[in-house]
Structure 1
Amino acid sequence: MISKSVFGTIAKDQLREFNVLDDSVPRSILPNIISYRGMAAFVIKGLRRCGKSTLLKQMIKSKFSDNFYYFNFDDDRIAEFKAEDFQTLMEVLIELFGQKKNVFFDEIQNIQGWELFINRILREGYKVFITGSNANLLSKELGSHLTGRHVDIELYPFSFAEFLRAKRIKPPKKFYATEEKALLSKKFKEYFESGGMPEAVVLGNELILTHILNDIIQKDIVSRYNIRKPSELKMVIKFLIANAANPITYRSIKNNFGIKSANTVQKYVECTEETYIIFTVKKFDKKIKQLDKNPKKVYCIDNGIITKNTPVMNEKKGAMLENIVAIHLKRLGKEFYYYKGRSGVEADFVIPQEKVVIQACYELSKENKKRELRGLLEAMKQTKATEGLILTFDQEWGVTKENKKITIKPAWQWLLESEPR
């Protein structure tokens, strides 16, 4: 067991570190979180170092003042933490800081039996906020013990609007002057290439993106899932990132790299997805049973992680733009698919519930315009969509084809217009 004196030192150290976190960039999701009523447990999930702790601090400043306990379980000094240590920890927090009713725990999924402890303190009347960087571990345990009593919140790297806030730029809400368009287009190019990982944006240190990826691979995948061939795993992850916006199959990856089993590849892909480095998107199909049979498209959680870990992607501007759009749709909580017809025509994103189809095309030209429109129109017809959208780097106009209105606009403009306010 860990002693009270050790817990006391760690708790004080961590609170001091927590209090000096840079929380100067307001997260767009914050108003939605603090407006929730009645829920006793909030679970904030997302990529390691995407800003979860900072969001906790913003929540505390907005609503809880000094009425809280904070503890981070991602600390080497508590490597031997056991379930029975939870009681000692709570006693220490109460002795140090007095009686509080709100508990903020970072990376608690590292501790076996954490869900039983959370369940207990909820019964005792505490309001609990926890973060974690593994989607599956959190969801599985919470589903068993906190059914109906928690809210899941997924946090992503900075959106373009948050990126602009970090740069102290406030875009207009509706109409854009020529100079404003030029500035926003310039800043979008930065965001397009460097992504939105908070430390890289705020500190201006993009080299940290390589360190973050290696950290996630080692701490969140290799150690947690007992991966026997780390170099093989890393090779697959680099492949997935380098193929953002492309369909993948486990068998093709197996054959490309000489991996013994497609099941091993599947494990690698699923582990990588659970730690939020990538996410996959299914092919649209009216037959639900077919959804899992077709190849999925893979996307990376951040463009900066792509460019700093797979330099070849710098040349694939269309895929990079599509990746940004996919991330934003995930951030908005949309259910979306990609479309591929029998004739081979494609549309990047289908959002059935909203009857919207989106193409991401870096630059519309004489060579690709017909192809992009054909894919969009067929997808709209097959999915009964009423809105068609082509997102480009900086082109803007509107066309009508087959009695359907299609809007062409810069991706940066769509990102700002669709940002939660």
Structure 2
Amino acid sequence: MIKRELYMSRIRPFIGSEPIKVMTGIRRCGKSVMLELIKQELTESGIDPAQFISINFEDMRYAHLQTAEALHKEISRRAAEIGGKVYLFFDEIQEVKDWEKCVNSLRVTLDCDIYITGSNARLLSGELATYLGGRYVEFVIYPFSFAEFIELYRPTAPDEPVQKSFQKYLLYGGMPYLSNIKYADEPSKQYLHDLFNSVQLKDIVKRNKIRDVDLLERIIAYVMANVGNTFSASSLAKFLKNEQRTVAPETVLNYIKYCCDAYLFYQVKREDLQGKQILASNEKYYIADHGIREAVFGGNTRDINLILENIVYLELLRRGYTVTVGRTGDKEIDFVCNKRGEKLYVQVAYLLASEETIAREFGAYDIIRDNFPKYVVSMDEFDMSRNGIKHRNIRDFLLMDEWI
């Protein structure tokens, strides 16, 4: 079991304390493993595992506990039997109707430490804000980074050079379970395809009561094809009209939002770096795991420039940055990143194969006058840094401890 220290270092200060620890992220990204890692830390600190109460609400054995009343009654009974402080671990809590009321009541009435996971971004909106306002901390869990992938993949191919391992990562992405099937080609594709179907059916169609599944599938296919490209709901609606599917831009936006709520896609807004304002249209979208794209849509090698962007974007999120796309006149900076007042700029290219490409990628920074780090990241093996702008091979960039 990989330690996932990037997340544990953020969760650790809250272990044993009052706030409810909430872990969200796309289905099968490793949230359940995070609960096991927390249990492990608690055990190592001297807590008796007999004080743990764990329920995975996707397990049919617990179907009778999927209402707030039933769950509250069961946990209260088991806590009374255990005596003293209890540690509650609820996996995929969104399956429980009115779970917020139950969790808040347990927090108030029991001596307990609560950890929950969920596969929907709206887990922490609406009623939850009312019941638990200021009493929870959220941690978004992402599929494996390249560094985590290497850690699990290397035993499968101990003599393989890192360049070849990265090619594998380009195709298979970072879903944790793939290490169990040793990243074998057909089983990996089958698993990722089935995972996608599960996200689409359980977390998008069923949760949002979508009737026009064909329309949803067409919209998802369009967004997958265009990861990293700017487009508007209107342009997607026009595309669908050409496909004999008339649909309002508002419907398109709603369907994409449902996908974002399920953590299948991430929306990145565009920022006017001169006017310091967020632009209202033509956002970009990236997929939570590029391996899913390859299994469902294909073309990761063909669209490698977009996939490299996708990989870098997810790495920026993992490391705690908020990210926008920067516009300066007619130039665009792929990623403008902020973390606690510190900025970072990143341009991503496939290869700096010509002087024109080099001028375009480095020239995007021409009117940025601050002294924050600026990177151009590509597949090139040779360092082309210039004018204070750092060039890094993408593998090296992803494996760096700090970007300074």
| Distance apart, 1:287 and its partner CA | 8.2
| Distance apart, 1:306 and its partner CA | 1.3
Matches within 5 A, 1:22-61: 24-28=1-5, 29-36=7-14, 38-61=17-40
CA spacing shift, 1:108–1:98, aligned 2, 3 Å: same
CA distance in 2, matches of 1:294, 1:307: 28
Tell me if 1:312 matches 2:299. yes
| Distance apart, 1:100 and its partner CA | 5.2
CA distance in 2, matches of 1:289, 1:222: 37
The match for 1:232 among 211, 215, 222 is 215
Tell me if 1:250 matches 2:236. no
Secondary structure at the counterpart of residue 347 of structure 2: strand
CA distance in 2, matches of 1:290, 1:406: 25
Contact 2:271 2:279 in 1 (8 A): no
Contact 2:274 2:328 in 1 (8 A): no
Q: Which residue in 2 is equivalent to 1:148?
A: 134
Secondary structure at the counterpart of residue 365 of structure 1: coil
| Distance apart, 1:168 and its partner CA | 4.5
Gap runs ≥5 in structure 2: none
Q: Which residue in 2 is equivalent to 1:371?
A: 360
Please tell me the residue identity of whatever aligns with 2:394.
Answer: A
| Distance apart, 1:120 and its partner CA | 1.1
CA distance in 2, matches of 1:85, 1:309: 39
The match for 1:283 among 270, 273, 289 is 270
- Could you report, residue by residue, the CA deviation over 1:60-93 in whole angstroms, capped at 9, with x for unpaired residues? 0112451311001123455563322123321554
The match for 2:250 among 263, 269, 272 is 263
- Could you report, residue by residue, the CA deviation over 1:190-225 in whole angstroms, capped at 9, with x for unpaired residues? 112210001123322322111111101100111110
Contact 2:272 2:328 in 1 (8 A): no
| Distance apart, 1:95 and its partner CA | 7.5
Please tell me the residue identity of whatever aligns with 1:44.
Answer: M
Q: Which residue in 2 is equivalent to 1:199?
A: 177
* TM-score using structure 1 length: 0.84
Contact 2:84 2:111 in 1 (8 A): no
Q: Which residue in 2 is equivalent to 1:16?
A: none
Q: Which residue in 1 is equivalent to 2:88?
A: 103
Contact 2:67 2:99 in 1 (8 A): no
Secondary structure at the counterpart of residue 266 of structure 1: helix
| Distance apart, 1:157 and its partner CA | 0.2
Q: Which residue in 2 is equivalent to 1:131?
A: 117
Instruction: Say what the alpha-carbon RMSD is for the aligned residues.
Output: 2.4
Gap runs ≥5 in structure 1: 1-23, 170-178
Please tell me the residue identity of whatever aligns with 2:205.
Answer: V
Contact 1:196 1:304 in 2 (8 A): yes
Contact 1:282 1:291 in 2 (8 A): yes
| Distance apart, 1:189 and its partner CA | 1.8
Contact 1:70 1:105 in 2 (8 A): yes
CA distance in 2, matches of 1:234, 1:76: 28
